[in-house]
Amino acid sequence: MDFQDFFLAVTITLGFIKICKSLFHFLNWIWIMFLRPTKQLKKYGSWAIITGSTDGIGKAMAFEFASKGLNILLVGRNPLKLETTSKQIIDKHGGNVEVKSVVIDMQNISGKEIMKRVEEAIDGLDVGILVNGAGVAYPYARYFHEVDLDLMDSIIKVNVEGTTWVTKAVIPSMIKKKKGAIINIGSGSTVVLPSYPLVTLYAASKAYLAMFSSCINLEYKHQGIDIQCQVPLFVSTKMTRMRASLFVPTPEIYSKACTKWIGYEKLVVPYFFHELQSFLIRTIPDVFLDSYMLRYFLNMRKRGLIKDSQKASK
Ligand SMILES: NC(=O)c1ccc[n+]([C@@H]2O[C@H](COP(=O)([O-])OP(=O)(O)OC[C@H]3O[C@@H](n4cnc5c(N)ncnc54)[C@H](OP(=O)(O)O)[C@@H]3O)[C@@H](O)[C@H]2O)c1
């Protein structure tokens, strides 16, 4: 074999390996996305505890879990909304499930107090699943120096500290029974995009959750506890105030997608059309995305400032 033939054989072999690898990835993706069975959630335990359960994604997950026969412990800051949500779940799934609730305003009590209240609330319950869904975002985009102190406080307390202390309260009982699942709701802003300017604190708080989840996933996997960070793109809730569409699902559609991923990978974009968006976004070079995001959010900031000044002049 002369050099030319050898070079041709190596090139064909490498090309073949590359095609096989891509095909394997594609088939694996089809399996994960459409065919892989959902885990039996009740096997983790008979109770699910959900923070941020009085609205949006958290509330939809509470209904989704109740439909699967799980008892629900709702965590929320507003007693009236907790009562309404509890009643709505009982009305829909009452015969099959129990619902309890605990009032915790994560912005206004210390981390240790959050932990104590959750520990008391779960005492005697067979908690299998924890969803850390409570979250706060900017009402509109703004520079970091413009973020008012109350908003700054609530983002750090709810998104970062709340999730951390609730997890700290729940994990010992999961370790004891050697099973459990923890789902932290992060954000696509930190995984899919290279930066999220003018919504900096929110994105940074969600980046914390991605790393927090990834690390404790490794710490507790061998103890039977599946910990993951789910990173949605836009969902139609009071946080985004966006109308529902194919790429902006309702919380109900989104929560069905979430449930399918519980117990599997440690970082997931659960909704198919978000995954498609992420794939397309990742093909764009960072430098273009950075410049686009900056212009996009500067525009949002301008609109937010106009709305604020209109409100103030009323
Ligand atoms: N919607 C999206 O497009 C999107 C995208 C990426 C990530 N996420 C994340 O998904 C999670 C759910 O968001 P969502 O869109 O469903 O928002 P949402 O409809 O505004 O719900 C947020 C939930 O968090 C609760 N919460 C807020 N502050 C709290 C506090 N101080 N103490 C206790 N609970 C508090 C809210 O309680 P109240 O009912 O009393 O207001 C509500 O139940 C958040 O972590 C968010 O960051 C959302």
Q: What is the pLDDT of residues 124-151, one digit of tens each?
A: 999 999 999 999 999 999 999 999 999 9
Vertex 270, ends 266 and 275: CA angle to 5°? 110
* Mean pLDDT calculated for residue range 89-109: 95
At 158-173, the pLDDT tens digits run 999 999 999 999 999 9
- Among 227, 17, 30, 3, which residue's Cα sits nearest to residue 130? 227
Residue 49: pLDDT band (50, 70, 90) is very high
Angle made by CA atoms 130, 132, 136, in degrees to the nearest 5: 165
Q: What is the pLDDT of residue 309?
A: 84
- Ligand 1 site, residue 117, Cβ cutoff 6 A: no
- Provide the CB-side half-sphere exposure for 252 (13 A, CA): 3
Residue 314 above 80 pLDDT? no
**For residue 195, is pLDDT > 80?**
yes
The answer to whether position 11 is within a domain reads no
The answer to whether the CB of 60 is under 6 A from ligand 1 is no
Residue positions annotated with a catalytic role: 202
| Per-residue pLDDT reduced to its tens digit, 225-266 | 999 999 999 999 999 999 999 999 999 999 999 999 999 999
Whether 246 is covered by a domain: the verdict is yes
Q: In angstroms, how far is CA 211 from the centroid of its own chain? A: 13
Is 295 a domain residue?
yes
Helices (H), the chain: 3-30, 56-67, 79-93, 111-122, 149-154, 163-177, 200-220, 251-261, 272-282, 286-313
Tell whether ligand 1 has an atom less than 6 A from the beta carbon of residue 209: no
Which string of b and e fits 167-197 if b means at least 16 CB within 10 Å? bebbbebbeeeeebbbbbbbbbbbbbbeebb
CATH number at residue 54: 3.40.50.720
Query: For ligand 1, atom 19, which residue shows the shortest CA distance?
Result: 56
Ligand 1 near 135 CB (within 6 A): yes
Residue 76 pLDDT more than 90?
Answer: yes
**pLDDT for the residue numbered 235:** 98
pLDDT over 90 at 311, yes or no: no
Which residue from 136, 255, 267 has its CB within 8 A of the most atoms of ligand 1, so it is best to mutate? 136
Q: What is the pLDDT of residue 97?
A: 96
Let me know if residue 81 belongs to a domain. Answer: yes
Q: What is the domain range of residue 50?
A: 42-313
Kindly state whether residue 236 falls inside one of the protein's structural domains.
yes
**Pocket lining: 249 vs ligand 1, CB cutoff 6 Å:** no
Determine how β-strand 225-230 pairs with β-strand 71-76.
Answer: unpaired
Q: How many domains does the chain have?
A: 1
Q: What is the pLDDT of residue 42?
A: 96
Query: Has residue 139 been placed in a domain?
Result: yes
Give the per-residue pLDDT at 82. 98
Residue 14 lies in a domain: no
- State residue 154's pLDDT score: 98
Mean pLDDT of the chain: 96
Mutate to test the pocket of ligand 1, among 53, 63, 77 (most ligand atoms within 8 A of CB): 77
Domain-embedded: residue 33 = no
